[in-house]
Amino acid sequence: MKEKLQEYALIAEIVGAIAIVISLVFVGFQINQGNEATRLNTRAIEVSAYQDVARQYSELNIMFLENPEVRKINSKVRDGSTISTEEIPVVAHLHNLFIRNAELTFRQFQSGLIDEPTLYTAITPMRSWVLTRAGSIGWDSNKDNYDSGFVQYIEENVLDE
């Protein structure tokens, strides 16, 4: 009888070991599926962020295409012409629009959602704006209102070229 119990115990150990191996294989499979789902979700977020950057850039272009007054004021700023008192609020809004768009894009870059070439392309309107006399004055007088990492990046990588 003792031999029979030992035989059953041995069979139970073998079955238990097989069950553990099967469980580990199943857990490994689930972890692999979770990793793949995470990778796909991350990629979807990156694509969404890139689409958001493209949408923002398109909206800027549409604004200039559809609004001749904004186009005219933007041209005056870019060629250094005198801006009237009535045009100053529009210049301030354009300044904020360019800078905030670039800052939001920088945050996407900082989060790893977009790469640096995409960031650089997206901040091109802001860069060309800040290189104007009015844009430079606006940048210098307002840069303390922006994220310090963004300001540092712009100062070291955009304005220092």
C-alpha span between 62 and 85 (Å, rounded): 25
Half-sphere exposure of 154 (CA within 13 A, CB side): 30
DSSP 8-class letter at 13: H
Average confidence (pLDDT) per 10 residues, the chain, 161 residues: 76 82 82 79 71 71 76 84 87 85 88 86 86 88 90 86 60
Residue with tokens 């007054």: 69
pLDDT at position 57 is: 66
What is the distance between the terminal CA atoms of the chain, rounded to a whole angstrom? 89
pLDDT at position 3 is: 78
Is residue 122 within 8 A of residue 53, CB to CB? The reply is yes
> How do residues 105-114 score in pLDDT, each as one tens digit?
898 899 888 8
Q: Which two tokens stand for residue 48?
A: 């969404």
Is residue 57 within 8 A of residue 77, CB to CB? The reply is no
Is residue 130 within 8 A of residue 159, CB to CB? The reply is yes
User: Which range marks the domain in which residue 37 is found?
Assistant: 2-158
The helix or strand, by DSSP H or E, that contains position 95, with its residue range, turns out to be helix 88-110
Q: Which two tokens stand for residue 9?
A: 């115990």
pLDDT at position 83 is: 86
Position 116: which residue type?
E
Q: Which two tokens stand for residue 82?
A: 């005198």
Query: Which residues have CB under 8 Å from 81's CB, separation 6+?
Result: 75
- Number of structural domains, the chain? 1
